[in-house]
């Protein structure tokens, strides 16, 4: 059966989670002003993105680019229905996130011990223990808790990662109370067969409807990986406008799949996102100009050329 007929059998709407303001900007050598970050988030919500990772309440010693998360969340125009989320590594970050009024809290660990150590300075088990008070506070406040698992398709320090290692972390995140979990390919090494394997394995612990694909495009595989996951039934994907980003603790990792490229493919497949592609292209031009470099979205460049720009 062709992939198109497989898609026609599943839900026809796809959730696009915009991670540029967090995953993208955390990696910028030149920090962006708070005002520009606020404008970026507001342009993205105006474009129709239903969920935006807007901040990270992490140690400013580790990631100075995210130090103004409270100011960003305090200044944005909250669009009704949009979920504004933030990364939280521990209880201290959770208190700050609560004060800032996040809609969703993202706890993050890894499928490989070496990456957990480099990124959050603890073992996977220790990270889960740190998330317990975070999860309790989220539950007490009625906030959604999401889990994100780095290096689900390969680790810069350990190489290949077994799906079983990912499943184990999914299980622990579900036990914490996460309503959904992101399978993240931090260094973009995954290929479509491996993506299907890891999602199939993870779906034995958490239904596909509550799993999301977070693909970095380092090896040019991100769109193919989205298609492979769509074919299985995954309907939530992360991307960043203009393909911003990377991870400061994964050398050589490039940005996420560009939101413009993801939308172009999803809309071409007849899937609904509720997002205005042209408005995201304009937003990509705005942020690329602010950062002083070209967008890495192929679709954005092509659409601009077609407009004669």
Residues binding ligand HMG (CB under 6 A):
23, 26, 56-63, 87, 89-90, 92-93, 108, 119-121, 148, 150, 184, 186, 214, 216, 247, 249
Q: CB nearer to ligand HMG: give 65 or 203.
A: 65
Closest CA to 25 of 9, 11, 38, 12: 38
Give the tokens for residue 114.
Answer: 């070496």
In the complex, least distance from residue 184 CB atom to ligand HMG, rounded to whole angstroms:
3
Whole-number CA gyration radius for the chain: 18
Give one DSSP letter per residue of the chain, joined into a string.
Answer: --HHHHHHHS-SB-EEEE-IIIIIGGG-SSPPPHHHHHHHHHHHHHTT-SEEEEEE-S-TTT-GGGTTHHHHHHHS-PPTT-EEEEE--SHHHHHHHHHHT-SEEEEEEESSHHHHHHHHSS-HHHHHHHHHHHHHHHHHHT-EEEEEEETSS-BTTTB---HHHHHHHHHHHHHHT-SEEEEEETT----HHHHHHHHHHHTTTS-GGGEEEEEB-TTS-HHHHHHHHHHHT--EEEEBGGG----TTSTT---BPBHHHHHHHHHHTT-B----HHHHHHHHHHHHHHHTS----HHHHHHHHHTT-
Instruction: List the single partner that 58 binds among ligand HMG, Mg ion, none, CB under 5 to 8 Å by kind.
Output: ligand HMG
Q: CB nearer to ligand HMG: give 58 or 178.
A: 58
Instruction: List the single partner that 26 binds among ligand HMG, Mg ion, none, CB under 5 to 8 Å by kind.
Output: ligand HMG
In the complex, least distance from residue 47 CB atom to ligand HMG, rounded to whole angstroms:
21
Pattern 229-268, Mg ion, x by CB under 5 A:
----------------------------------------
Stretch that binds Mg ion, among 15-23, 53-61, 105-113, 137-145 (CB under 5 A): 15-23
Q: CB nearer to Mg ion: give 7 or 116.
A: 116
In the complex, least distance from residue 120 CB atom to ligand HMG, rounded to whole angstroms:
4
In the complex, least distance from residue 193 CB atom to ligand HMG, rounded to whole angstroms:
20
| Calpha distance 242→258 (Å, rounded) | 5
Size of the site for Mg ion (CB under 5 A): 1
Give the tokens for residue 64.
Answer: 């100075």
| Calpha distance 72→85 (Å, rounded) | 12
Is 247 an annotated catalytic residue?
A: yes
Q: CB nearer to Mg ion: give 23 or 231.
A: 23
In the complex, least distance from residue 214 CB atom to Mg ion, rounded to whole angstroms:
6
Q: CB nearer to ligand HMG: give 127 or 277.
A: 127
Under the criterion CB under 5 A, does residue 23 sit at the interface with Mg ion?
Answer: yes
Q: Which residue is nearest to Mg ion (CB)?
A: 23
Task: Check 155, 178, 247, 283 and give the catalytic one.
Answer: 247
In the complex, least distance from residue 59 CB atom to ligand HMG, rounded to whole angstroms:
3
Q: CB nearer to Mg ion: give 19 or 176.
A: 19
Query: Which of the residues are catalytic?
Result: 247
Q: Which residues bind Mg ion (CB under 5 A)?
A: 23
């Amino acid at each position: 059966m062709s992939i198109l007929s497989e898609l026609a059998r599943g839900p026809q709407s796809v959730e696009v989670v915009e991670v540029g303001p967090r995953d993208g900007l955390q990696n910028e050598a030149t920090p962006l002003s708070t005002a520009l970050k606020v404008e970026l988030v507001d342009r993205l919500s105006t474009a129709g993105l239903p969920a935006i990772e807007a901040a990270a309440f992490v140690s400013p010693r580790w990631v100075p680019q995210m130090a103004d998360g409270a100011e960003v969340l305090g200044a944005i125009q909250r669009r009704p229905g949009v979920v504004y989320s933030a990364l939280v590594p521990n209880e201290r970050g959770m208190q700050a996130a609560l004060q800032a009024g996040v809609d969703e809290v993202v706890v993050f660990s890894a499928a490989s011990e070496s990456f957990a150590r480099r990124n959050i300075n603890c073992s996977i088990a220790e990270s889960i223990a740190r998330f317990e008070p975070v999860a309790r506070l989220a539950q007490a406040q009625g906030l959604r808790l999401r889990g994100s698992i780095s290096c689900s398709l390969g680790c810069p320090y350990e190489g290949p990662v077994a799906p079983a290692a990912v499943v184990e972390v999914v299980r622990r995140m579900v036990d914490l109370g996460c309503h959904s979990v992101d399978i993240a390919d931090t260094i973009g090494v995954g290929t479509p067969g491996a993506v299907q394997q890891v999602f199939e394995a993870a779906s034995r612990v958490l239904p596909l409807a509550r799993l999301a694909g977070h693909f970095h495009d380092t090896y040019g595989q991100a769109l193919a990986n989205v298609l492979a996951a769509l074919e299985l039934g995954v309907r939530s994907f992360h991307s960043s406008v203009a393909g911003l980003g990377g991870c400061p603790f994964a050398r050589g990792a490039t940005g996420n799949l560009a939101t413009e490229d993801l939308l172009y493919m999803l809309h071409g497949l007849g899937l609904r996102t509720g997002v205005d592609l042209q408005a995201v292209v304009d937003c990509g031009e705005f942020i690329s100009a602010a950062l002083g470099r070209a967008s890495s979205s192929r679709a954005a460049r092509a659409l601009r050329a077609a407009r004669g720009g």
